[in-house]
Amino acid sequence: MMRTVRLELARCHDFPEGSKKHGYELRVPLTWGGRLDAKAVPENRDEVSFHRFWASDNERGHIRHGHRGWVLSFGPSGEGDETIFRGEQHRFVTGEYVSIEERDGQIRTFRVASVH
């Protein structure tokens, strides 16, 4: 079932209170248990996408599932892809936390703010 998941930056050194202005909106298939559903990706390939918002900077891309797990892809070259750390294991339900290894090599933690 396709869902829109909003991830907001969790508390960290640079943002001690977290930040609603830094994060991702994912358009992903989820199982009834709230996990990413790799089996549903092929039939929803065009919809499986993300929007990265970082203050006033906005980027879009597609989400892929492959040998490295779940990846946020900014383009066809694969350069600069970001990895959802243990994406297969996380539950994407409000209040849970998800880590993403971003292009700068930093692993940042995000709180699931909403699922629609």
Q: Model confidence over 47-83: pLDDT tens digits?
A: 999 999 998 899 999 999 878 889 999 887 667 799 9
Task: Give the pLDDT confidence score for residue 93 in this predicted structure.
Answer: 97
Letter for the amino acid at 17?
E
Helix (H) or strand (E) holding 36: none
Find out whether 104 and 80 touch, Cβ atoms under 8 Å.
no
**pLDDT tens, position by position, 15-55:** 999 999 999 999 999 999 999 999 999 899 889 999 999 98
Task: Give the pLDDT confidence score for residue 29 in this predicted structure.
Answer: 96
pTM for the structure as a whole: 0.93
Strand partners, 62: 49, 73
Instruction: Give Dmax (Cα) for the chain.
Output: 40
More confident residue, 1 or 21: 21
Residue 101's nearest CA partner among 61, 77, 68 is 68
Instruction: Give me Rg for the CA atoms of the chain.
Output: 13
Task: Give the pLDDT confidence score for residue 33 in this predicted structure.
Answer: 94
User: Span 2-20, mean pLDDT?
Assistant: 96
* Residue 45, phi then psi, degrees to nearest 5: -50, -45
Which 3 state secondary structure label does DSSP give 42?
Answer: helix
Task: Give the pLDDT confidence score for residue 78 in this predicted structure.
Answer: 65
